[in-house]
Structure formats: C-alpha cells, structure tokens
Structure 1
C-alpha cells in the first residue's frame, strides 16, 4: 500500500512544482486590489488571472500528472485518458446535468465536484485503463481501435460507472459532514479546533468544502468570512474559525518545509530546496498551501495527520485568546496585514509570536518523525548517495535487461516495473524463482530484497535505459 502511495506522491510532484509561482502571482494581485480582485486595477487583474490559470485548474493538472506518473511507461496516452476521465465526471456530475437527470435542484455537493480529489481519482482511472488495455486486440473490423486507441474509449465507460457511484455517495458524505459541522458549532473554541483538524484532514478527498460552508459561509448562520469584513458580526467572536489558520500557513508549514530540507540527503538538497522553498514562500505570503501539502501528503501520510492535528491545536488556542483575524483569499501574510483594517479584527499582531512558536514546533516534530520513522519525503528516496557514481560493465542495455529478466524468473514472474534515480524497482509473483547470481552477471552493482515480492536492482544513473529495455521486452511478449 505504501509503495503505491509513494508512487502517487511522486506522480504529483510534476503538477505541484508549477503551483507556487501561480499562488504568489495571485497573492500579489490580491494585495494590490483586495476589494475588487482586479476590478479596480489592470495590473492586479493581470496577476490574479495569470495565477488562476494554474490554481483554478489544479484538478486538471493532477488528473494529467497522476495519469502519466502512474502509467507503466509514462506514455502520453495515459495523460489523454486521465483528461478524458476528468472531463467525463465534470460533465456527468455538473449541477446543471444533475438537475436535468432528476428534475430537481442539485445537491450543493455537486457544486464542489471540481476538486483535487476528483483530479487524482480520474488520473488513477486513466493510468489503470492505460496499463490494462494498451495492448488490447480487437476483431479486424475494429482493428483501428486496438491497442492504445482503445484506452480512451474504455476510460469513458469505466468513468461513467464511477460517476454513477459518486452520484449516490458524494452528496450523502457531503451532507453528513455539513451536519457534523453544525453539531460542533456550540462547542466554542473546541469546535474551532475540531473544524480546523478536519478541514486539513479532508483536503485529500476534496470534502473540506462541506465544513467550510458551515463555518465560513451561511449554511448555519455563522458566515465567519463575510461578517468579519462587513462588520455585521460579533466583536471577539467573528473570525474565530479563520484566525487559527494563520500560524500554520505563515509559519508552521514553512517550518515543516525547512525540516524536510534539512533531512534530505546531501546530494539531493539542492533539488529539494527549489520545490520546498518556493512552496514555503507561497504558503507564508499567500496562504496557498497545496504545493507544500501535496508534496508530502502521499509520500508520508503520517506527517499529514500530524499536520492536521497541529492545525486543530492552533485553531483551538487562538480561539481561546482575544485574537481575531480573517481572510478573503487565504491565511497568508497578505490577508494578515489586511486584517488590521477589518472591523472585527482583534489583536492580529499576536498571531506573529504564536506563529513563530508553531514554526518551531512544526520543525522539531517533522524533523523527529522523518528521521525516526525514516519517512521518504522529498530528497529522502531509498537510493544511496554512492549509487550516483555507479558505472555499468557495458552500454548494451538490451543484453543487461534480458539477463535481469532471466534472473527474475522470466516475464511470467514479473508483475510490475518501476525505476527511481538509480534503481529498478520490480514486483514479482514467486520469490523462489529469482536467481540473484544470474542478475548480478548483468554487471549491476547490487540487489536488494525489501520484501518477498519486491526486488530492487542497483543499476546507477543509467537505470532509465535499462528500465526502458525491460519494458520493451515485456511489451513485445505481451503483444504476441
């Protein structure tokens, strides 16, 4: 299970890498024109729209990135399948479509179907369909649609079934979360903490919007976000469901990013610094946290649960104190600064010392857990540093792949082929058929057996060439 989650996490790195700059552009535009969001300033409008190109289409980026990353050979056909799956769900579960089907007003849940979870789900559907049907043979009359051309067709059919399932369960889960949110309104600061905890915990499945509708908007009459800015709330109370996010987004998550950077392997810190630094700046300045959260959400799920718990604690503590701040965009520096002018603001400056404390807590806790649990966050992949200098005995990658395949017990014993920076990562059916001596005769540097059904072959930096040849041999056998 963890292997698949980590592969999913790696697949998300490509779309996640382009998000920080987009978030910063939007944040600058919003800072220039916080009331009109570009309506009052052409420069602000340009920056906001430029950032929105990616931020507002995050789900599509995830669908394509996951589909390519989870495909056996990272083929572009999988990307097309992921996009087709995403478009299918967006069309079939669009509120207007639902109302056409049922003749009644669509449940509010369907207004939130364009989210990152659906992007990841459709990306997985696209990858699974590609991996399973890329070699499909059809009768001669339909031969044009054989192989990779069949993938998009099958993807649509499977996505329609998934859409039917979501049609029934998505509104039930969404409505259940709204009811849960309403039930904790009366618990004061404790409720704020519980809400913040689940707000973060539900982001991977895109259902945090259900709770947001209770506390930030008018589902339960709270409307924390609107009343904070228009002055129609209760001084000292309004803003309690937003203020606790500032210490986490401005300081906590950047502290976590620093911990991940410091625990990355020495030769990989430069790469880690690029992604983590940009994501941390985006989180601090704008409050857009997805680039950072999705960078460890699936690579190290335990850290994400800790992050959700710390967010809940922050919200609980801030709600107990005479501190109220709010946001129109997100809980970053821009909205914190703007909060000073809001009519319902109470001591927003106190969020800075509290945030600094949470920054230290995040750093210490994340660093401890990463090292203690050997979590595979960015820059901590399994490859040993000296493996970067390995040289194969020859450049005959076809011969090397053939020898490795024989040593694994043949094609029929091989179930999965993957690779990282220096290693082939292979899944097998029967470990007794593996001949390590035969594999080593290919001139590879070493063999690692993490589990009964896993084999890692240490190849070095030329691993991609060997992996490609190995996949080609398997494809040739499958086509026959």
Structure 2
C-alpha cells in the first residue's frame, strides 16, 4: 500500500509542477487589483491566467495521474483520465442530478456543487490507469479490431467511471453533509474549535472535501461568514477572522521552512532537482498562500509528514484564536493578503502572527528534518532507488570513454541499456518515474545486468519475474525517450 501511495505521489509531480506559476500569476494580479486599480487590465489579465490553472486542478490531476500510474506513461492513458473526469463531473453535476432525481436544480444537495475537485481528478486518473494497464494490450475479434488495444482504454475508462459515479451519487452527499454537520458542531468550542477546524481543513485537502468544512466557517452557512465580515470590518475585534488568521504562520513561514528541510535532506545528486520544485513552491506559499504545489510534493510520498503538517496547522489556528490575533484573506494566507489585511480596522494585533510564524518555521524545519531522517521518509529527492552520495557523476563514462555530446551520450547509454535488457525480443514495455526506468521483460534470464551496469547507472532493481528497474538519475526521461525511439525504429 505504501509503495502504491509513493507511486501515486510521483505521478502527481507533473500537474503539481504548474501550480507555482498559477500561484504567482494570481498573487501578482490580486496585488495589482487591490493596491492600484480593481479594473486594471494587467491585474485582471494575470489573475485570469492563474485561474485558468487553479480552477481546473481536477482535470490536471486526472490526466497527470492517469499517465503517471500507467505502465508505459502513454498519452492514451491521459486521454482516458480526461474521459473518466468528464463522465464523473457531468453525471454528478447539478443539471444531471436534478434530472435523475426529478427535482429543480435549486433543490439539489449542495454536495453536487463541489464535484469538480482534486479528489475526483485523482480518482479519475487512478481508474484510467487501471483500465490502461488491464486493456491496452487486449485484442478484440476482427469485427471489432478497430477498438482493440489503446483505443479500448477510453471506452473501458468511461464504463468504469459510470460505476464509480453511481457509487458516489449516494456516498458523496452523505460525506459532504456529514462534514458540514461536524463543522457546525465544533462552533461552540471557540479556540479549540478553530484548532480542530485547521487540522481537518488540511487533512481533507487531498479529497477536496475541505470546501464543505470551509463553507461553515468562511461563509454564511452557519452564520459565521468570517471572510466577508472581516473585510467589511463587522463583528467583534479579536473574534472575527479567527478562522483565517492561524493559516498565515503556516503558509508564510511553516511550509517554506518544511521545504527547506526537505531540500537539506535530499540526496546529494538530487538536490538541484529537488530545489527546482521545492523552492518555487515555497515562494508561492509565502507570497500568495497557494500551498498545493508544496503539499502534494510530500502528501503521498510521506503521509506521516502530512498528518504532522495538519496537526501543526490546527495548533496554529488554536494559538492565534486563543490570543485573539486576527487577520483575514480574500484569496489565501500569503504575503499579498496579509499586507492588505493590515489596514482593516477589525484586525487585531496582526503583527503577532509574524512572530508566531517565525516560531512555527523553526518547529517545521527541525521536526520535518528529524522525521525525514529518522523514518527515512521518501520526500522529494529521497525517493526509493535514488542515487545517493556514492552515485556516479552525471557525465557517464560508457565503455568507449567519456562522450563529448550530452545528446549522443544519452542515446548511446540508452542503446547499451536496451541491449543489456535483451532488445526487442525481450523488452515488453518501457516506462519511467522521476529517476528510474521501469521495464517489463519476457525473460529475466536474458537480461545482462553487467552490461547495463557498465553504462555507469547507479543501480538495478529486479522487482519480480518480469519487472526490472534501472536507476538512471535526473536524466531518466531522456534515456527512456531514446529507448522508445530505438523500439520505433525497429
């Protein structure tokens, strides 16, 4: 199960990589709109670009997970992920549900207004990947031959997602309504309630159900309406904003410090690649308060860290609410909204959130660093099978000597590995994750591991009678692409 979650975590890296760009567009755009002119063409242009990504996270995850979790990481799997997403979100949409239940759209359970989320996207991707791995090699009778193989995968994905959607039709509103009721039940717990809300808010991020909980505290579902009341400066100073303020120490300080800890614990030869993701995501979290890029980078790779993160978020909201330090946000708890909230009259000692944030940064850094090393958690740059301090230099020496051209080097390395695997007669499928070639072979006895090792790869991992992994490093995608080219030529 843990290995499956780690594979899922790695497959999320492709869609996660676009989130920092979206966050920056939104942050800068909102900053221009709020500080200068709400009708600014540039501000609206930038925010529209950011929203184009953030409003469609579910689709991105559906396609990304489908490709990443499929054996060959083929485009057909991505298309199938999109098909599965469209089936689920359409069948479970307000209009469709109203027709199925024979009621007006306004009477449909509010749960069905929140189906286009990351959870449905990931679920769609998983279903599509399962269908690809199962049916991409199936041959149908001659009369139906056109629909054989990869063409069959989107069809089977649609059929499978209809079954999943039928289950969700009954389960989703129960879960959603249950969370709303839970939120209303903790309203009277004051600071403790704020802490519980913060904990479950983060814990529910992977499912998309945090929106149900947010609606209770941020909007007018139960009469709190925390966001609108804060910006209208209505309510009670020190109380209004309590369900927002505690996020600032986490998003501006805690998570960036966690990113630094993950970078410092990454394996030596993987630090540069880890930094490209972690530092960009950390800046997005600090500046705009968009945390998905950072959270999804370790959410599935190291679930225990995510639970710790959720607990620390709850603690932060509890402390801020207990001492009545308040600030609000219109978009998210980043520097942009923090700066804007300082001028709101009802804000109460918002500068104390900076002090709290600095303390949480220290806690996040040392706690994350300790847990990563102590439990050998597979955070970015530490994934299983990754090369460590003893790995070879990236300028591989391949039998004949050092190659002058990086492109030629990669091509020759791929050719030598492919020969060592047994070539066309033995290699059935070719895939890759962030550092390893993932291959399926017909006969493991035909694999010449010594020949493969002579290319300078850090390691080889045989994971079954027909599955073998070759650890390449950060350039694995290019080696995999070269192998695919060799297969197509033949």
Per the normalisation by structure 2, the TM-score is 0.86
Distance 1:282 1:465 in 2: 29
Which residue of 1 is the match for residue 308 of structure 2? 306
**Could you tell me whether the CA contact under 8 Å between 2:194 and 2:321 is conserved in 1?**
yes
Deviation at 1:230, TM superposition (A): 1.3
**Could you tell me whether the CA contact under 8 Å between 2:258 and 2:365 is conserved in 1?**
yes
Which residue of 2 is the match for residue 384 of structure 1? 387
**Could you tell me whether the CA contact under 8 Å between 2:257 and 2:362 is conserved in 1?**
yes
Deviation at 1:115, TM superposition (A): 0.7
What does 1:53-202 correspond to in 2, within 5 Å?
A: 53-104=52-103, 105-202=107-204
**Could you tell me whether the CA contact under 8 Å between 2:245 and 2:317 is conserved in 1?**
yes
Deviation at 1:343, TM superposition (A): 3.2
Deviation at 1:194, TM superposition (A): 0.3
1:73-121 deviation per Cα after TM superposition (whole angstroms, max 9, x unaligned): 1110001000011111111111121111112321111111111111111
Which residue of 1 is the match for residue 421 of structure 2? 401
1:402-459 deviation per Cα after TM superposition (whole angstroms, max 9, x unaligned): 39998xxx98xxxx9754466455799xxxx976x97535443687669888976556
Distance 2:20 2:461 in 1: 38
Residues 1:468 and 1:52: Cα distance change in structure 2 (over 3 Å): closer
Distance 1:237 1:27 in 2: 27
User: Which runs of no fewer than 5 residues in structure 1 stay unpaired?
Assistant: 476-480
Residues 1:268 and 1:369: Cα distance change in structure 2 (over 3 Å): same
Instruction: Name which of 282, 289, 292 aligns with 1:290.
Output: 292
Q: CA RMSD in A?
A: 3.1
Distance 1:143 1:404 in 2: 24
Residues 1:217 and 1:35: Cα distance change in structure 2 (over 3 Å): farther
1:326 counterpart = 2:346 = no
Residues 1:307 and 1:267: Cα distance change in structure 2 (over 3 Å): same
Which residue of 1 is the match for residue 14 of structure 2? 14
1:162-207 deviation per Cα after TM superposition (whole angstroms, max 9, x unaligned): 1111100000001111111111110110000000000000000111
Distance 2:39 2:486 in 1: 61
**Could you tell me whether the CA contact under 8 Å between 2:233 and 2:345 is conserved in 1?**
yes
Residues 1:10 and 1:405: Cα distance change in structure 2 (over 3 Å): farther
Which residue of 2 is the match for residue 3 of structure 1? 3
Residues 1:128 and 1:325: Cα distance change in structure 2 (over 3 Å): same
**Could you tell me whether the CA contact under 8 Å between 1:392 and 1:459 is conserved in 2?**
no
Distance 1:466 1:405 in 2: 19
Which stretch shifts more, 314-323 or 337-346?
337-346
Deviation at 1:322, TM superposition (A): 2.7
Distance 2:484 2:40 in 1: 54
1:10-37 deviation per Cα after TM superposition (whole angstroms, max 9, x unaligned): 111111111112111111111122399x
Instruction: Name which of 317, 320, 324 aligns with 2:319.
Output: 317
**Could you tell me whether the CA contact under 8 Å between 2:416 and 2:451 is conserved in 1?**
no
Residues 1:240 and 1:421: Cα distance change in structure 2 (over 3 Å): closer
Q: Match of 1:148, SS?
A: helix
Which residue of 2 is the match for residue 215 of structure 1? 217
Which residue of 1 is the match for residue 259 of structure 2? 257
User: Which runs of no fewer than 5 residues in structure 2 stay unpaired?
Assistant: 400-412
